[in-house]
Amino acid sequence: MLMVSMRNVNFGYGDVPCLEQANLDILSGEFVTISGQNGAAKTTLLKLMLGLLKPWSGTVELARRNAEGSKLSIGYVPQQIAAFNVAFPSTITEFVRSGRYAQGSWLRRMNREDRRMTEKAIRQVGMWEFRRRKIGELSGGQKQKVCIARAIAQEPDLLVLDEPTTGMDQESRLGLYRLLQAQVKEHGRTVVMVTHNLSEVEDYLDRRITLERKEDGGWKCCTTTSCSGHFAPAG
């Protein structure tokens, strides 16, 4: 199933282009990274994929429904989301549990399944022993883990993470890669992650997408490489 498709997408800020003729396909059930040098419009690419930005030209198509025909669920962890004010009042459990409202109305009461999935997500990121701590009391890496747990608790069809390992040590980063790979292989989810740590994560991937400059020194374009051999590179 085609989850995201971009064809000949051009976009920039003001009158300055930052993406030109970007083409990519992301299929359901694959773990994909997006990488590139600083200023390579990686975050912009994610926002275009999710419909948060509109391209100047070209087409962006995001699946409306999952393989079962239900409305597509998206978990998004943007950059700097973990920069909570020290006075942020929620505990870890309360914050992660709030992600369960993506499954229905904000007015509904939390049920046993909501509590189970909240606990599971907190445990998966290694934060269960801190579950009663206030978010504002955590370190930057711990806050990042909690944001990821909230996204996973949503049980998304598409999980999109922008530099999610910021503030994490190597052990935590490797644990996250294993967790994301399990989300793909065990639950059939699609994971798209912006990262600079390609050498660390490559063994867990299906494919990587790189933003790089053209030979004329102009705008960026997408190139894809299959890491596992299971998915063909996009044209």
Same domain, 143 and 179: no
Give pLDDT tens digits for 125-174.
999 999 999 988 888 889 899 999 999 999 999 999 999 988 888 999 99
Domain residues for the domain of 213 are 1-72+157-235
How many residues comprise the chain? Answer: 235
Q: How many domains does the chain have?
A: 2
Same domain, 104 and 122: yes
- Of the candidates 155, 180, 197, which is a domain's last residue? 155
Same domain, 151 and 85: yes
157 in Cβ contact with 72 (< 8 Å): yes
User: What's CA 134's distance to the chain center, in Å?
Assistant: 24
- Of the candidates 128, 155, 182, which is a domain's last residue? 155
CB neighbourhood size of 58 (10 A) = 17
Same domain, 226 and 194: yes
Residue-level pLDDT at 35: 87
Same domain, 55 and 166: yes
Same domain, 89 and 31: no
CA distance linking residue 151 with residue 57, whole number of Å: 31
- Of the candidates 155, 188, 215, which is a domain's last residue? 155
Segment 70-78 mean pLDDT: 91
Examine the pLDDT at 13 and tell me if it is beyond 80.
yes
Which residues share a beta bridge with 221? 212
Same domain, 92 and 145: yes
Residue-level pLDDT at 104: 56
Lowest-pLDDT choice from 54-58, 82-86, 135-139, 172-176? 82-86
Same domain, 48 and 103: no
Same domain, 31 and 146: no
User: What's CA 32's distance to the chain center, in Å?
Assistant: 10
At residue 44's C-alpha, the angle toward residues 43 and 49, to 5°, is 100
pTM: 0.86
CATH of the domain at 232: 3.40.50.300
pLDDT band at 86 (very low <50, low <70, confident <90, very high): low
Same domain, 68 and 161: yes
Same domain, 94 and 197: no
Same domain, 5 and 99: no
**Which one is predicted more confidently, 224 or 106?**
224
Examine the pLDDT at 121 and tell me if it is beyond 90.
yes
